[in-house]
């Protein structure tokens, strides 16, 4: 009997676990180690953050779902990997610390034949002084609990506006190298929509602050799309939407400090400026979760298999080279660690070879540029692809991964909410192919214009609303779940 261990039960980890269980057969074990007791459909947290949904609508308990499916479940935080086993022999193993109330703080170990690292990111609020809902001066929608708090604080701001007090609302990125601009993008337009619904829109000054070089970059170097018979850029698309909704923007900004009601940021010109706010939701930077790794003799090999940002190195090209020499082929295809062939990483847990958007530095040497996003649909597709690889290797069908799952070879669809409502809601529906631009294959724009497009409207809102329930259905392993695409 073989054992596949998956670290993390988020979008990529849960997807990997579901297909590993489906494809391995009963003769093998599939075990998920995750610190969370609940699964969260993260894209809908923005609706929790404006009071449109509750945490119960975006989460469910993992234990009964995994038990029904025959997937082992340990509620714990992975602490370290021993990919060579130890000097007493035995298989590779992972060490973890229980987070479940009955065993909290206890340490356990588990051997594995294959391990898939799907831990996702650490929400690195502490990288920016004063950032975050726990010890800082801003709110967040990164977790359901954070989103509830954001909704409560937003309600207070709305009440002040109803009482005649003008309010400044600031939403965007809270670090010079933040990613996940899409979540902030959705949130600012959902807030704008709720202000209109509440009848207080004229009492609010909405400002977007971001490390993007231009609107519509989103950490993927923007995109070009066909619209109305001509080709336009996401920059024009985004600027039109921001202007239409009356949202001011501050770009090329690296936030480095928050005080009550005031954010400090640096510009690419090297200026240190401030912006006042009454309500701020700023996305933190992401880093690895802090996993350690040890060789058979106990020596620390963390820096050997993990990149400096804490994400696991896979089969990408991590050679340092100028932006002009970066290629689509640098991106990983198998997500297999080059040293330990039974070790893989999916979703945000794998180390990208480089940024997608061109890195920018301020005159002071500060990198002010989005990190590459690896969330949502790409995470799920990669999780499924690696599950196929690992199960085929475990079942003896292949000796090594076949590849072909690079983000430079796959497309993705994104539906970004810009306001929830049966008849008044809207969303930006967008497809991009490939995710990582390939300027050799598609000169000039880097992507296929036949498969890259975007529209905004009520239909997009209904699509996103339907997808919310569809993916929860899939994640709960309801009948026919595997027919629903990632």
For the chain, list the domains and their CATH numbers. 3-123+286-359+372-394 (3.50.50.60)
Quote the CA–CA distance of 231 and 222 in Å, as a whole number: 13
pTM of the model: 0.96
Give the mean pLDDT of the chain: 95
Alpha carbons 421 and 427: distance in angstroms, whole number: 10
pLDDT at 87 over 80: no
Backbone angle region of 116, left / alpha / beta, with phi > 0 → left and psi within -120 to 50 → alpha: beta
- Mean pLDDT in residue range 131-154: 97
In angstroms, the CA 282 to CA 161 distance is 21
Phi-psi region of 210 (alpha: psi -120 to 50; beta: other; left: phi over 0): beta
Rg of the chain in Å (alpha carbons) = 22
Residue 215: which of 184, 174, 191 has the closest Cα?
A: 184
Q: For the residues 444-473, what does the mean pLDDT come to?
A: 91
Give the confidence band of 353 by pLDDT, cuts at 50, 70, 90. very high
pLDDT at residue 376, as a whole number? 85
Would the pLDDT of 403 be above 80?
no
Residue 16 has pLDDT above 90, yes or no: yes
How high is the pLDDT of residue 226?
A: 74
CA distances for 401 relative to 43, 315, 330, 479, angstroms: 31, 11, 17, 30
Query: What dihedral do alpha carbons 174, 240, 231, 354 form, nearest 10°?
Result: 0
Report pLDDT for 450: 87
Which DSSP letter does residue 151 get? Answer: H
CA of residue 40 relative to chain centroid, distance = 12
Identify the pLDDT of residue 230.
76
Q: Residue length, the chain?
A: 486
pLDDT at position 153: 98
- Sign of the alpha-carbon torsion through 30, 32, 37, 43: negative
What is residue 388's predicted lDDT score, i.e. its pLDDT? 96
Classify residue 275 by its DSSP letter. E
Structure tokens at 308: 């400096």
- pLDDT score, position 54: 97
Tens digit of each residue's pLDDT (9 = 90 or more) over 354-363: 999 999 999 9
pLDDT in tens, 54-65: 999 999 999 999
Q: How many Å apart are CA 427 and CA 456, to the nearest integer?
A: 5
| Residue 173, pLDDT above cutoff 90 | yes
Residues 72-81: tens digit of each pLDDT: 999 999 999 9
Please state, in angstroms and rounded to a whole number, the distance separating the CA atoms of residues 80 and 83.
10
- Residue 470 phi/psi, 5° resolution? -65, -45
Q: Give me the pLDDT at residue 292, please.
A: 98
For residue range 216-227, list pLDDT tens digits in order. Answer: 999 999 988 877
End-to-end C-alpha distance for the chain, whole angstroms = 29
pLDDT in tens, 181-203: 999 999 999 999 999 999 999 99
452 pLDDT band, cuts 50/70/90, is confident
């Amino acid at each position: 009997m073989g054992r596949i261990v998956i670290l993390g039960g988020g979008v990529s980890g849960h997807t990997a676990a579901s297909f590993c269980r489906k494809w391995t057969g009963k003769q093998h074990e599939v075990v998920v180690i995750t610190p969370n007791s609940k699964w969260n459909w993260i894209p809908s947290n923005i609706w929790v953050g404006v009071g449109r949904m509750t945490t119960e609508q975006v989460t469910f308990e993992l234990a009964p779902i995994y038990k029904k499916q025959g997937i082992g479940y340990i509620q714990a935080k992975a602490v370290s990997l021993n990919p060579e086993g130890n000097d007493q022999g035995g298989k590779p193993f992972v060490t973890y610390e229980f987070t479940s109330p009955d065993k909290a703080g206890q340490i356990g170990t588990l051997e594995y034949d294959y391990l898939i690292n799907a831990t996702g990111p650490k929400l690195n609020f502490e990288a920016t002084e004063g950032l975050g809902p726990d010890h800082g001066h801003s709110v967040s929608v990164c977790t359901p609990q954070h989103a509830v708090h954001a909704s409560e604080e937003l309600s207070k701001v709305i009440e002040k506006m109803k009482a005649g007090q003008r309010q400044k609302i600031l939403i965007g990125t809270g670090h010079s190298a933040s990613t996940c601009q899409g979540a902030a993008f959705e949130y600012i337009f959902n807030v704008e929509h709720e202000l209109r619904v509440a009848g207080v829109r004229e009492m609010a000054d909405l400002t977007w602050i971001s490390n993007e070089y231009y609107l519509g970059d989103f950490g993927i170097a923007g995109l070009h799309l066909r619209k109305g018979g001509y080709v336009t850029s996401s920059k024009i698309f985004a600027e039109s939407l921001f202007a239409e909704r009356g949202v001011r923007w501050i770009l090329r900004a690296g936030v480095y400090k928050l005080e009550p009601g005031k954010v400090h940021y640096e510009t690419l010109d090297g200026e240190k400026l401030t912006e006042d706010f009454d309500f701020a939701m700023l996305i933190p930077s992401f880093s690895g979760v802090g996993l350690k790794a040890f060789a058979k003799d106990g020596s620390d090999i963390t820096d050997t298999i993990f990149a400096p940002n804490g994400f696991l190195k896979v089969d990408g090209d991590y050679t340092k080279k100028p932006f002009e020499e970066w290629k689509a082929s640098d991106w990983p295809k198998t997500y297999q660690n080059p040293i330990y062939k039974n070790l893989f990483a999916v979703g945000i847990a794998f180390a990208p070879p480089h940024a997608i958007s061109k890195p920018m530095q301020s005159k002071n040497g500060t990198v002010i540029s989005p990190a590459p996003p690896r969330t949502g649909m790409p995470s799920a597709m990669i999780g499924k692809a690696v599950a196929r690889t690992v199960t085929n290797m475990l079942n003896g069908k292949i000796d090594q991964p076949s590849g072909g799952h690079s983000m430079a070879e796959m497309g993705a669809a994104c539906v970004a909410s810009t306001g929830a409502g049966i008849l008044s809601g809207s969303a930006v529906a967008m497809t991009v192919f490939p995710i990582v631009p390939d300027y050799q294959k598609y000169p000039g724009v880097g992507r296929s214009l036949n498969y890259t497009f975007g529209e905004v409207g009520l239909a997009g809102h209904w699509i996103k609303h339907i997808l919310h329930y569809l993916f929860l259905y899939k994640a709960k392993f309801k009948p026919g779940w595997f027919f629903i695409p990632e």
